[in-house]
Amino acid sequence: MADDQKAGPSPGWRISKACQECRKRKIKCDGEKPCKTCRERSTSCVYRDVIRQRRKKYQQENRDSNPHWGSAEESDIGRPPSPGLSQNDGSTGRRNQPVMYTFHNSVSATHMASPSCKVQLYYGPTSHFSLLQHIYRDLVSGPLQSPTEPQGEVENADAGLDLFNFRRIFFGSLAETHDAGKDTSNGSTPLMFLPREIAMFFLERYLASFYYLTPFSPKETMRRDAERLYDPNVDLPMDPSVKSVILMAMACGALGTEHYAWGEILFEKVKASSNSLEDVVNLQTVQISLLMITEQGRPNSSFLHLGVASRKALSAGLHKDAPENTRDADRETVERRRTTFWSLYFYENLICFHMGRPSSLSLDVIGTAQPGDPFLLALIHLSKAISRSAKEIYGKRYQSLLQMWKVALSISDELSGYDSWMRKAVGFGLDKTPQPGHIGVQQTILALSYYYTLLLTFRPFLIFRGRWRQDMKSSTQTPAGSDNRPSEIPSWLNEACDYVLYTARKTIHYLCKAFLVNELVRELRYHTFFLSSATFTVIYDALHDENAATTHLPWAHAALQCLSTMRAGDSVSATISTLQSVLRQMNFPYDVAAGQRRVDADSGNSRSHAFQATSGYDQTGNSMMPIIPEANSDTIGLTPRDLPASDHILMNDLNKSMDTNGITEDLLDLTEADMGWNFDLSTMDLEGFFSIYPTMNTTASTF
C-alpha cells in the first residue's frame, strides 16, 4: 500500500530535478548526485529538501482562470504535513497547519467591566495588539527556552494586556468601571453650558484639521448652523440630527486644544441624544457616526461606529446615485451624498486595515460617482490600493515569494500617479517639506497614508529576509546539521527590504519635522499609530542585522522623542511605554544621541542638545522637540538626508530592475520548499517575528 502511494507524482505534474547550484546559474542539471556540472566545477551539489511540483501549461491556464486559486485546499497539494500533526486529525482548514499560522495569529481578550457586563473583543494579525501578544510570548519565555507556540489561530491576550498596561486601549472606555444604571445627561438640554466663544473656537479648530476628512458641508454653512445654536431669536428649532453633527464637529475640534475634556462632554451629549435617532436612516445620521469615529480615536469604539455608519449608508442608498426625479436630485445634495459615502469608504478601508478586520464595503457594489473634492479623490485612489493590499498581499496564500513580489509591484504601479493626485489636492507633491497651518494638515494626511500603505504592502519581504538571516545564524551554530537552502540573499529581495525601511524612516522623519512647524499636526492623536508602526519596522530589522542597529536605533529614539512632545494621554503614554520596554529588553541604550545636533525643520540651522528620549522635557521643564538622526555613509538604502525629489522615483527605479514581464525567468525564485519552512509567505507579519529573537534576556519583573 505504501509503495502504491509513492508510485509517482500526480498526473500532469513536472518534477524539477535541478540542484541549487544549477538553478542559481540557470543551467541544465542532469539530476545526479552529484550532478555533472558540480563534479566538473568541484562545487557542493545540494538539492532542495522538498521537490517543487509544477503543473503543465494547460493546467496552469485553468488554475489562473479559477476564481478559487490560492485556496488552502489547492495550495496544500504536494506539501508535506506539519511535524507532529496526525493525518487522522479531525480538524479542518487552517487548524491542520499550526506551524504555518504561528506567524500571524489574531488575538482576543475578555474584560469584566462589571459583574453584569462582560466584554469580548477580537483583533486581526495586522493590529498592534497582535504585535504586543507576540512580544509578550517572547518575554515570558526564558532565554534558553523556545517561545511558547500558540494553540490555534486566535490567542488569549489578557495576560499580555495586563503586563503592558494596554487594556484600556484594547477595550476603550469599557475598560473603566462601568455602571449599567448610570444616568447620562439629556441630549435635549440647552447648549448654554458651553460658552459661545469656546464653542466657535472648537469649530474653527475642526475646520482646520479633521474637516478635510469629513467635508460634509461648506465651511460657511457649518459656521452658520453653529451660530443658530446660540441665537435666541431663531423661531424654528434646529433638526436634531443637524445639531448633533455640529456638536460632534466641535467635539473633534476640542481634542486639539487645552480644553480637550470638552470633547468627551460633547460626545456624551450627542450619544445621549442619538438614542432617538437609533433607527433613523438619513444623510446626517451617517455623518454623526463618522464624526464619532474621529472624536473617539479608540480602536474598537471607532470600528463599531464605522459599522453603524456603513449599514446606515447602505440602507440610505448612498452607494447609489439618487433618482433624478426626487428631492435629493439637486446638485448640492447629490454632492453631499457622494462626499459622505466616499469619506466613509476611506475610513472603512484604513481602519479595517489597521485593525486586521474584514471590510464591509466593496467597490463591486458601489454605483455612485466620486465627489469633486480633489483631496478626497486622492484618498479614494489610495483606498483602492489599500483594499488590494489587504486582499492580495495578506488575504491570499503564495507558494512563491516572486508571486507576491509581482503583486506588490502591481500595487506600487497603481500608486505611481499618487504624486499628481496630491498636487491637485494641495498644490504640491510628496517632495515638499512639512508646511504649517491647515494646508500642512492635508499634506500630512496624504503623505502618511501613502507611506503606510506601501510599508505594509512590502513588509512581508523584510520579514522573509529576517527569518532567513535567523535561520542562517542557527545553521552556523549547528555543524552537524545539513542546510540545503540558498546561502545568498538575492539583490532584488534586499532592494525590496530597503524600500520598506525607507518608508518607515520617511514616516518618522516627516513627523519629526512636521511637529516642529505645525501645532495642528502635533495634536492629532492618531499619529501615534503611524509612528509606532514605523518604529517597530526599523527595530525588527535591527534585531536581525547587528550592523544596521547603529543606523536604525537613532530613528527609534527620534520617534520616542517625537511622541514625548505630544500632549499626554492614553494612546501616547501607552505607546511610549511599550516602545521603551521593547528597547530596554533588547539592551538598546536610550542616550546614544547625547550631544547630537538638533536639525531645524526649515533653515537647517542646528544647536547642541542632550537627548532624553524617556521624558520629552529638559531640566527647565520646557518641551523638547524631536532630534532628527543624521545620515551615515553606511546606511542601508536611502536615508532622510538623501531623499529623492519625489518618493515615487524610488519605486520607478525598482520597477525597472524588477521587470515583471521576465521576473520568473531572470530572478531566483524562493519557495517554502527552498527554505525548508512550513508557513505561508503571505501571512508573515512584523508582529509574529518578534517572538524568534533568541538572545533576549527576558524577565517580566523589569516592567
Position 105 scores a pLDDT of 59
pLDDT value at 276 more than 70: yes
Residue 301 CB partners (closer than 8 Å, separation 6+): 172, 173, 292
pLDDT value at 475 more than 60: yes
What is the rounded average pLDDT of the residues 202-219? 94
pLDDT value at 287 more than 90: yes
What is the rounded average pLDDT of the residues 160-164? 65
Quick one: angle between helices 196-207 and 219-228, nearest 10?
A: 160
3-state secondary structure of 65: helix
Residue percentage of the chain with pLDDT more than 70: 59
Query: Which of 43-57, 130-144, 459-473 is predicted most confidently?
Result: 459-473
3-state secondary structure of 683: helix
Quick one: angle between helices 299-315 and 283-296, nearest 10?
A: 170
Query: Which of 37-41, 174-178, 370-374, 464-468 is predicted most confidently?
Result: 370-374
pLDDT value at 273 more than 70: yes
Residues 538, 505 contacting (CB under 8 angstroms): yes
Residues 609, 598 contacting (CB under 8 angstroms): yes
639-671 in b/e burial notation, b at 16+ Cβ within 10 A?
bbeebeebbbebbeebbeebeeeebeeebbbbb
Distance, CA of 175 to CA of 166 (rounded, Å)? 10
CA distances from 271 to 171, 289, 461 (A): 18, 10, 44
What is the rounded average pLDDT of the residues 196-221? 93
What is the biggest distance separating any 2 CA atoms in the chain, rounded to whole angstroms?
A: 99
What is the rounded average pLDDT of the residues 627-634? 47
- Decide which of 350 and 577 is more confident: 350
What is the rounded average pLDDT of the residues 12-31? 73
pLDDT in tens, 482-532: 455 666 788 888 888 998 899 999 999 999 999 999 999 998 888 888 998
Residue percentage of the chain with pLDDT more than 90: 25
481-508 in b/e burial notation, b at 16+ Cβ within 10 A?
eeebbbeebbebbebbbbbbbbbbbbbb
What is the rounded average pLDDT of the residues 565-593? 72
Position 130 scores a pLDDT of 61
3-state secondary structure of 198: helix
3-state secondary structure of 581: helix
- Decide which of 303 and 376 is more confident: 376
Helices (H) and strands (E) in the chain, counts: 28, 7
- Alpha helix (H) ranges present in 545-693? 546-564, 570-585, 647-657, 663-666, 672-675, 686-689
Position 533 scores a pLDDT of 86
> pLDDT averaged over the chain?
71
Strands 154-156 and 106-114: parallel
pLDDT in tens, 60-100: 544 444 444 433 333 333 333 333 333 333 334 444 443 33
Question: Hey, where are the domains in the chain?
Answer: 16-45, 106-139+154-171, 194-362
The CATH code for residues 16-45 is 4.10.240.10
Residue 175 CB partners (closer than 8 Å, separation 6+): 111, 113, 167, 168
Position 325 scores a pLDDT of 60
pLDDT in tens, 168-197: 666 665 544 333 334 444 444 455 578 899
DSSP output for 247-271: HHHHHHHHTTSTTTHHHHHHHHHHH
Distance, CA of 20 to CA of 49 (rounded, Å)? 11
Position 486 scores a pLDDT of 65
- Decide which of 325 and 240 is more confident: 240
Distance, CA of 269 to CA of 283 (rounded, Å)? 20
Quick one: angle between helices 491-517 and 527-544, nearest 10?
A: 140
Position 91 scores a pLDDT of 38
Q: How many CA atoms lie within 13 A of 218 on its CB side?
A: 5
Q: Which residue has the cell 518641551?
A: 623
pLDDT value at 640 more than 60: no
- Decide which of 72 and 311 is more confident: 311
Distance, CA of 199 to CA of 191 (rounded, Å)? 10
- Decide which of 318 and 540 is more confident: 318
Position 26 scores a pLDDT of 78
Residues 430, 447 contacting (CB under 8 angstroms): yes
- pLDDT range class, residue 156, cuts 50, 70, 90: confident
Residue 68 CB partners (closer than 8 Å, separation 6+): 74
Partners of residue 462 on adjacent β-strands: none
